[in-house]
Structure 1
Amino acid sequence: MSVSSPAVLGIAVPSPLRRLFDYRPAGAPPEGGWQPGLRVRVPFGPRRVVGVVVECRDDSDLPLARLKPIEDRLDDAPLPADWLWLCRFTARYYQHAPGDTLHQALPALLRQGRALEARTRERWRVTEAGAGEMPESLGRAPRQAELLTMLRQHPHGMLAQAILAQSFTRPQLQALERKGLVARREEPRTGPADAGGPLLAEPVLPLNREQATALAALHEGLDAYHPCLLHGVTGSGKTEVYLQLIEAVVGRGRQALVLVPEIGLTPQTLARFKRRFRVPVVALHSGLTDHERLDAWEAAASGRAPIVIGTRSAIFTPLAAPGAIIVDEEHDGSFKQQEGLRYHARDLAVARAHHHGIPLVLGSATPSLETLHRAQSGDYRHLRLTQRASRHAPARLELVDLRGRTRRGGLIPPVLEAVEETLAAGHQVLVFINRRGFAPTLSCHACGWLAECDHCDARLTLHRQPPLLACHHCDQRRALPDACPDCGSADLRPLGSGTERTEETLAERFPDVPVHRIDRDSTRRRDALEQTLTEVRRGEPCLLVGTQMLAKGHHLPHVTLVVVVNADAGLYASDFRALEHSAQLLEQVAGRAGRAAHPGRVLVQTMHADDPHLRLLSARGYDALAEQLLEERRVAALPPFRFLALLRLEGAQEAAVTELGGRAAEALREHLKARELDVDCLGPVPAPMERRQNRYHLQLMLGAGKRSRLHEAGAWLAAWLEAEPAARRVRWSLDIDPQTLA
C-alpha cells in the first residue's frame, strides 16, 4: 500500500465514542503524502470539526462510496510523531475516546484549525555603518542620535517593544533604517540561545556527598530508560540535582521536560531555571493565554526550547529531541486528572520515558506508595537524600491534644503562646488549615439546624469576605439568614474554623504583625500568590495562614514554626488512600519549617493524639509509616499490590442511575464468569457524596492482580455501556488507576 495515496483515512474527531471515523481523502495530498498526524477539517453530523488523521488504509467497514470526503487539509506536515504516539497510548490505557484524547492534548488554537507556526517579534540591531557613524552627524535629529547610541550599547539588538518603551517612535527607527544605520529582523518569540556563549548564566551550587552520588547515578543512564526515585527530605537540594542533570542533558543537544504539581510553583521554578540557563525555558500551565500556550508548544516541538516546565497537561508537550523527564513532588494528587480524560501525568511520564529510552526522575520527600513499592522491588533505582542544605534535621511533628481545650479560631492557648514566642524572636509562623472560608458551616444553637446545600449532600461554608454561605462543590451561594429557618431563633453560630476565622483570630491577637491569608479565595487575581510570597521572603516577622497551596514546594526560609490546626481529616475517612495522602500533606507542611539558619518546630493539633498511625508518623517520620501502610495494603490486596478501575455513573434521576449500575454489574459478572477472568467486581454502591449538583453518583469497582486482565474487563464493560440504550441517559466514565473514591 502506498502511504501517500490511501483510499481511507481513519480520523480521530472530538467525540465521546471510542473509535475512529473513516473518510475519503480529497484535494491535493501533502508533499510527503497522507500520513498519521495531519489535521483535517471534516463534516461530522451537522458540524464541521477539526480532526487528526490516525490511520491510512485501503479498506473500511463501510462501502467506500458511502464515505464522506474531508473538506480541507490544515497541515503540510504532520504533528509530531512522539505526541501522536503518546495520545494513542493514553486513549488505549485509560479506555478513553481517541478523538477526545487528541482534542484535549492539543492547544486550543490548534483545535480551532490555526497553523502550527511560531509568532514572531521584531529585533533591531546596529549595522556596520551604524557602528562607525558618529551620533554627532545626526545633529539635526537629536532623538535619532540618542536612539542610535542606545542601540550601540546592545550588540545583540533590542526588541521593538523595548525600544518603544523608552519613548522612542517607530518613525525614528525607520529613519535610521533608511540611512542604513540599523536593520531589523523577525525572530520567533521564543528564540534560540545566544550563539557561542556558555550554557550557564550563573555557576552551579556545590553538592554534598549524597547529592553528588545521586547525580553520578543519574549521569550513568543518560542514553537509556533509567527510572529513578529521588527520595529526599524537604530542603535537601533535589532541585539543584535536577538543574545539574538538565545541564548535562542540554549540553548534549537534547531537551528536558519538568513537571510540577501546581501552577503556584511554576513562577518560582521558572525563575530559578531562567537564572541558571542561557537557553530558552518555556512554561505550560492553565494561566497562559491561548497564544502563549501555542508559542510554548511550538518552541518545544521545534526544539528551540531545550527546557520545558509545566503542570499536569504539559506531559503532552512534543519534544524534538527528548533527553530527560523530571516529575517533581511525584506523589501529588494534582497530577491525576479527575474529570473527562482521567490520566495520571506521572504514569504517562513513565511510559513516555520508556518509549524514548531516556532517564526519568521522580522526586519527592514523601513518595507515593506505588512509586516506593516499585523502588523497593528494583523497578526504579532508589536514590536517597537525608541531609538538609541548612544542616538542621527536619522538624519532627509534635502532637498537641485538643481534647478538653478551649479554642480560638481553631487554636488552643499553648499553641498561641508558641506563636507569640516565635514572632518575638523575629521569625515567621505558618498556620496550616486545609479549609477555606470562615467556618465549615452555620448552626442554630437552639435547635441544631445546620446550613446545608440544596443541590449536594454537603453543608454550606460560611464566608465573611464577602458575607455569604457557599457550597464548595457546586458553587451555590446564599445570603446569610437573619434567623434559623426551622425554629426562628436568632442564635446562629459558626461551627468550626476556616482560613478566614483563623486569620481574624490571629489579627486580633497580634495586631502589630502582618497576617497573610493564602487560599483559593485570596489568590484569584493573577500573580497575587507570587506577590504575597515575595513580601514574605523579605524576612520580616509575619503570620501566614493557608491551605495546601502553601504546603507544596515553596521555600520560606524565615518560617521556624508550623502549626497544623487539625490533623484528623484523613484518619478515619472511607477512602483507603486517605491516610497516605494526609501523612504526605503533614510532612510537606512540616517541611516548610527550619529550611535556613534556624531549626524548625511543628505543632500538630489533633483530637486523636493516641492514634497509632499519627504516633508513628510523629516519632519516626513518613518513611516508617509508609512501610506499615504498604504492609497493610499487601494484606488487604489493595494498590500497589492490585490494580483497580472505577466505573462512575451519574444522572439526574436516581432510579435510572441505580438501574443501569445494577444491570452493568450483573452483565460484567456474567462475562467474567464465562471467560474465567480473575477480576473482582464490587458494587454498585453510592459514591461517598451521593448527590452533587442535583445529580446522583454511583460507583462500581473492578480489581485484578494483573493489569492486562483489568483492561480486558474494562474494555468489555465500556463496549457494553456504549451499546446499551439506557446508558445514553446517564453520564458514565471509566477511571483506570483511581486515586480517590470521592
Structure 2
Amino acid sequence: MLQPTPGTVHFTQVLVHTPVYSQMAGALTYLSSAVLPPGSLVRVPLGQRELLGVVWHETTSPESPQAGLDISRLRPITVVLDALPPLSAHWRALIQFAASYYQRSAGEVALSALPPQLRELSSVQLARKLKKLAKTVEKTAGTGAESASETTFAESQSAIYSVVLSADQTRAIDQFNQNQGPFLLFGATGSGKTEVFMRCSAELLARSPGAQVLVMVPEINLTPQLEERFRARFGHLWGADAVVSLHSGMTPAQRLNSWLAAHSGAARIVLGTRMAVFASMPQLQLIIVDEEHDPSYKSGEGARYSARDLAVYRAHQEGIKVMLGSATPSLESWYHSRPAAEGGRYQRLDMPSRVGSGQLPLVRRVDMNHQPKGCIIAPPLLSAIAERVARGEQSMLFLNRRGYAPVLECTDCGWKSTCPHCSAFRVFHKIDRTLRCHHCGLTERVPRACPACGNPDISPVGRGTERLEEHLAELLVDIRRPDGEAVRIVRIDADTTRLKGALESQLAQVHAGDVDVLVGTQMIAKGHDFRRITLVAAVNPDNALFSSDFRAPERLFSLLMQAAGRAGRDAAVAAKSEMWLQTFHPTHPLYAALKQHDYPAFAESQLQERQQASMPPLSFQALVRAEGRTQEAAQMFLNRASQAAREQSDTAAMLPHLTIYPAVPMSIARIANVERAQMLIESSSRTALQRFLTAWQSVLHSTRAEPQCKGLIRWAVDVDPLLI
C-alpha cells in the first residue's frame, strides 16, 4: 500500500482515454497525496465522469509546478489501484511508440489495451482476484511437490521431444536457436509451422523459469483450436491456467482474468488476436505471429495500428526473439526477409514440404467461358464433389460473400435494395427474409412488392454463401453417402456463428466427419486443420483480379493458397486432393503461379510492379480520413489542411520529400448518414513522412477550428493503410 506523505500534495500526470483530435489528447495533471510510480493504475474525475487512467510521468512536488498550471483548478485522484503492480517501462515505451508512429493519443492507445472491467473494480476487489490467482498457481506448482524440480524437468523434456520432427522443422528450429532474428517462417500449408512454434516455446519455457510467450493469431475463430493444442502440450506441466487467451470475443470477466494472469506472470503462454500485442507480460521472452500476412492484424478503427509490425518493434525494444509465420507472407515481410547483402532485416526459415507423405493439392482451373450460361457450379466440379461424397470424403466450397444475394432488384423500374443511410446495398438474407446493411446494421423485412413501382417481381442478383448452400443442396439431392444417407451440407460464416459456441460446434461436426460439403467465407479458408477434406473449390474468385486496390492480387493469392491448403492434410488422402478454380480468366498469371504453388514467383512479380509504381513496401503511405455532415465539408477540411501545410515553414520543409494527393470520397462514401473523404500522402522516406505527420497535427487542429470546416465531425490519420 502506498503511504501518503503527511501534509503534502503532489502533481501527477495521468493518461486517460481521449482521442487525438480532442483538445485534451495529452496527459492530464491531477493531485495525489502520495508519490505514485509511473505505470500505476488510478481512477480520476473528468467532467461528470470517472475514468480509468495510467500514471505516465514521475510525480512532481508542489515546489516544482508546471509552467502556466492553474493549481486551483486541479482535482484529486479518486482511487489508486495499488493492489496491481505498476505497468512496466517496456509496456509504456511500446504504448508511446505506437501512439507516436500511428499518430494517436497515448491515452487512447493505453486505455484501449487494458481490460474494460478494470474501470469498475475497487483496489480491494482486485486484491482478492490476485490472491485467488496466486492460490491457483501455488496449487498447480505444488502438485507432486516431491522432487518437483527433477520431475518437472523430466516431464518438460518428454513433452518437448514427444513429436518426431521433419528435416525442414529441425533445420528451422536450429536456425532459430542459433540466430537473433527477427524470423520469417515461410512454410507450406501443412508443413508443421504450429509444431515449430510449440517446440521453440517449450524449449524456452523449460530453459527459463518464469519466462512468458505471446502467440498471436489473426482471428478469434482460430484461437480455440490453437489453445487446445497448447493446453494439451503444456497443461500437465504448469496447469491449465498457465495457457490463457486474450481477445475481444471474451466476456469482460474472462478478459480481466486472462490479463491479470499475464500481468502477474502466472500465465506462461498468452494466445490472442491483434489486441494481445499490448498485453502486459513482465517476463516476455518470445513473440510468435501466426498467419502474419492476414489483414486482420491491422486495426480498422480507433488507433489504426498493425499488430504484426508492433510485435517486431516490441521484440526489438525488449531484446527478445520474434517469429512471423505464413505460407503466403505479406509482401512487406517477404521484402524484409531478402538476403542481408541486399538490405534484408529478417531471417527467412524455409519449410517447403508438408509433414509426412502429405502433398499439396492439384490445382484445376475451370474455364467458365465454356460452361453452360449462368451456371453457378460447373458440371465437372459438381461431378467431382459427388464422387467425394460417394467415397465418404469431404469437400469445401469457398465464396467470400455472405447472405443469399448482395442485392434485390426490380425487373420493371430497376429499383435496388440500397441502404438509405449508406452508399451501399442491403444484402438479402433469405433465411429470415430480411435486407441487412453490413455497414450500419439497418435491418428490414423484405418488401412484398417494389417500393418504387409496386411490381411484385423483385428478384435477387448475384449470390452469397446462403444461396450457394441452397443451390448445392438442390444439385446433390440424389447423391448418397456410403451409408445411404443424404448429403450433409453445413455453412460457416458470420451469420451462422453469431451465437456463443456455434463455431466450435460446427467445426467439431466437420472434424468428426458428420459433414460432407462445407460452404463458407474466408472464415474456413485459413488456419483450420481439416483432415478429411480432399477437394476445395473457389466459386467466384475473379472479382479481385482487376480491382483498383493495388493490394487486391496479394490478398487473393494468399486467400486462395490458404484455402487450397485445407485439402490433403492427411497423408492417406493427399494423393487425390484437388483445388478447383472457377474462373473466366484461366490464363491469368496469378492463377498460373497458384497452380504451381509458387509463392516466390508471384511475390517477385508483384514486387517488380510495386517498384515500378513506387508502391509499398518500396515507399510509405498515410491516409488522412475525414468524416462530416456533408461530403463538401469533409473534403473542404482535408484540402484546407493540405494548403495550410504548404504555408507553414515546419511542414513546408518536408514537402519536397512527399506527394500529397487531393481529397476524394472514400470507396464507400457514406455510412450511417456520415460522409467520408480521404487524402493520400506518399513518400520514399518513412522518416520524412513521420516528421511531416507529427508537425501537421497542429495544422489539422487549427484547420478544424476554421468556420469553413464547421460541418466536420472528426478526422483520423491512418499510417501504413491497407485499404485505399
Specify if TM > 0.5: yes
CA distance in 2, matches of 1:490, 1:190: 69
Bigger shift: residues 302-311 or 187-196: 187-196
**C-alpha spacing 1:501/1:6, structure 2 compared with 1 (3 Å):** same
Gapped runs of 5+ residues in structure 2? 478-485
Shift of 1:400: 1.3
Contact 1:24-1:67 within 8 A present in 2 as well: no
What SS does the corresponding residue of 1:353 show, helix, strand or coil? helix
TM-superposed deviation, 1:6? 9.0
Cα distance change on mapping 1:665 and 1:92 into 2, 3 Å: same
Aligned partner (choices 236, 254, 259) of residue 191 of structure 2: 236
Residue 628 of structure 1 and its aligned partner are, at CA, apart by 0.5
**Aligned equivalent of 2:231:** 274
Whether 1:15 aligns to 2:15 is no
Question: Alignment partner for residue 173 of structure 2, among 207, 215, 219?
Answer: 215
Partner Cα distance (1:702, 1:526) in 2: 42
- The answer on 1:612 being equivalent to 2:589 is yes
Specify every segment of 5 or more residues in structure 1 that has no aligned partner in the other structure, as ranges.
Answer: 124-184
Deviates more, 1:211-220 or 1:470-479: 470-479
**1:654 CA displacement:** 2.2
Summarize the Cα distance change of 1:272–1:235 in structure 2 as closer, same or farther, 3 Å threshold: same
Q: Which has the larger radius of gyration?
A: 1
Of residues 535-544 and 379-388 in structure 1, the stretch that sits farther from structure 2 once superposed is 535-544
- The corresponding residue for 1:148 is none
The reply to whether residue 90 of structure 1 matches residue 98 of structure 2 is yes
Distance in 1 between residues matched to 2:369 and 2:670, nearest whole Å: 33
How far does the alpha carbon of each residue in 1:445-497 deviate from its partner, in whole angstroms, 9 at most, with x for none? 33433221111221221111111111111121222222233443332221111
The residue that corresponds to 1:641 in the other structure is: 618
Q: Give the structure with the larger helix fraction.
A: 2
Q: Once the 2 structures are TM-superposed, how far is the Cα of residue 191 of structure 1 from its aligned partner? A: 5.3
Q: For 1:527 and 1:189, how far apart are their aligned partners in 2?
A: 31
* Superimposed CA distance per residue, residues 14-71 of structure 1 (whole angstroms, 9 cap, x where no aligned partner): 11247434425322x2xxx432111233332333322211112444232353450423
Confirm or deny: 8 A CA contact 1:107 1:294 kept in the other structure. Answer: yes
Q: Report Cα offsets for 1:524-556 as digits up to 9, x if no partner.
A: 111211111111112356110000000120000
The question of whether the paired residues in 2 share the 8 Å contact of 1:41 and 1:70 is answered with: no
Of residues 355, 358, 363 in structure 2, which corresponds to 1:397?
363
Alpha-carbon distance in structure 1 between the residues aligned to 2:103 and 2:326: 29
User: Which of 598, 606, 623 in structure 1 is aligned with 2:573?
Assistant: 598
Describe the shift of the 1:214–1:220 C-alpha distance in structure 2 as closer, same or farther (beyond 3 A).
same
Moved more, 487-496 or 431-440: 487-496
Q: Please state whether the residue corresponding to 1:398 is helix, strand or coil.
A: strand
Q: CA separation of 1:329/1:118 partners in 2, compared to 1, >3 Å: closer, same or farther?
A: farther
Q: Does 1:60 align with 2:66?
A: yes
In the alignment, the residues of structure 1 paired with residue 16 and residue 579 of structure 2 have an alpha-carbon distance, to the nearest angstrom, of 52
Separation in 2, partners of 1:547, 1:267: 19
1:433 alignment partner in structure 2: 399
Matches within 5 A, 1:674-685: 674-675=653-654, 677-685=656-664
Q: Which residue of 1 aligns with 2:409?
A: 443
Structure-2 change in CA distance of 1:120 and 1:42 (3 Å): closer
Q: Do the aligned partners of 1:22 and 1:60 also contact (CA within 8 Å) in 2?
A: no
CA distance in 2, matches of 1:67, 1:249: 52
Residue pair 2:448, 2:456 contacting (<8 A) in 1 also: yes
CA distance in 2, matches of 1:740, 1:591: 26
Distance 1:662 1:190 in 2: 63
Local SS of the residue matching 1:272? helix
Aligned to 1:555: 529
Residue 571 of structure 1: which of 545, 560, 564 is its match? 545
Equivalent in 293, 296, 315 of residue 331 of structure 1: 293
AA matched with 2:579: V
Deviation, structure 1 residue 641: 0.5
- Cα deviations by residue, 1:396-447 (Å, 9 ceiling, x for unpaired): 4322122263377731222111111121122100000111111111122334
Distance 1:648 1:605 in 2: 37
d(CA) in 1 for partners of 2:638, 2:564: 43
Q: How big is each residue's C-alpha offset from its partner over 1:112-142, in whole Å with a ceiling of 9 and x where there is no partner?
A: 454454627989xxxxxxxxxxxxxxxxxxx
1:135-284 matched pairs, under 5 angstroms: 186-187=135-136, 192=141, 194=143, 196=148, 197=152, 198-199=155-156, 202=159, 204-221=162-179, 225-251=180-206, 252-253=208-209, 254-277=211-234, 278-279=237-238, 280-284=242-246
Paired residues of 1:328 and 1:363 also in contact (CA < 8 A): yes
State the distance in 2 between where 1:493 and 1:24 align: 62
Moved more, 16-25 or 349-358: 16-25
TM-score, scaled to structure 1? 0.86
Aligned to 1:485, what secondary structure does the other structure show?
Answer: coil
Counterpart of 2:449 in 1: which secondary structure? coil
Worse-superposed segment, 493-502 or 345-354: 493-502
- In structure 2, C-alpha distance between the alignment counterparts of 1:347 and 1:247, rounded to whole Å: 24
Paired position in structure 2 for 1:137: none
More deviation, 687-696/55-64: 55-64
Q: Which secondary structure does the structure 1 equivalent of 2:592 belong to? A: helix
SS of equivalent residue, structure 1 residue 569: helix
1:42 aligns with 2:17: no
- CA-based RMSD of the aligned residues comes to 2.4
Q: What's 2:248 paired with?
A: 286
Higher mean C-alpha deviation, range 580-589 or range 103-112 = 103-112
Q: Specify the SS of the correspondent of 1:680.
A: strand
Question: What percentage of aligned pairs have identical amino acids?
Answer: 39
Give the TM-score of the pair, scaled to structure 2: 0.88
